Structure 1
Amino acid sequence: MYFAIVSMDRPGATEVRADTRPAHREYLKSPPHGVTYRLGGPLLAPDGATAIGTLLVIDAPDLETAQKFSANDPYNKANLFAEVSVRPWDWGTGNPDKG
């Protein structure tokens, strides 16, 4: 099942994001968390350059696993986010698994 994780940064947390980015990216590649990272990237401010959040799409067996994955993300552990939403997502258009 697919899940969309939308996380918005705390104001003034630009340095936290930069400092934690390598650990976050490594975490996305680590298999022990029981999910498959499908796609994602930073959400941007209207200037098109400043990161203000993160969007991830993962494949996980259930909501609890997806929530645990989100909670253990180094960004989340570093208190980067003001809010996080983990929601089941029906990946229709563009889904490589649906050919």
Structure 2
Amino acid sequence: MLFMIHCVDKADSAAIRQDNRDAHLAYLNDHRDKIHAAGPLLADDQGGGPAGSLLLMEFPDQASAEAFAEGDPYNKAGLFARVEIKPWKQVLP
């Protein structure tokens, strides 16, 4: 089942994101087989800089998606103000 993982960065957290970027990317690469799409969300008011993350990933259940999100180095470092996880159904393409 596909899940949407929507993460919103805390205000003034660019240094946390930068300091943990390599670990975050390594974590994603370790789970590459589950990724449908992934990337940063951009904020217009920050000149297009990162403001969060959006991942569409395959997991057997909600608990597995939650465990993945909890293990993300960005989350462990306290980057996110909130994380929302919802089942997602692809319709197009």
> What's the TM-score, normalizing by structure 1?
0.86
Task: Give the CA deviation at 1:24.
Answer: 0.6
Q: Partners of 2:37 and 2:26 in 1: how far apart?
A: 14
Report which stretch shifted further, 36-45 or 74-83: 36-45
**Partner of 1:11: helix, strand, or coil?**
coil
Q: 1:37 deviation in Å?
A: 1.6
Q: Is the 8 A contact 1:29 1:37 kept in 2?
A: no
| % same residue | 41
Structure 1 residue 27 displacement after superposition? 0.4
- Which residue of structure 1 lines up, in the alignment, with residue 22 of structure 2? 22
- Counterpart mapping for 1:60-79 below 5 A: 60-79=59-78
Gaps spanning 5+ residues in structure 2: where?
none
User: Alignment partner of 1:25: what SS?
Assistant: helix
User: How many angstroms does 1:55 deviate by?
Assistant: 0.3
Aligned partner letter, 2:13: A
Structure 1 unmatched ranges of 5 or more = 95-99
How many Å separate the matches in 1 of 2:26 and 2:44? 28
Shift of 1:29: 1.4
CA RMSD of aligned residues (A): 1.3
Normalised TM-score (structure 2): 0.92
In 2, Cα distance between equivalents of 1:7 and 1:63: 16
2:16 aligned partner, one-letter code: V
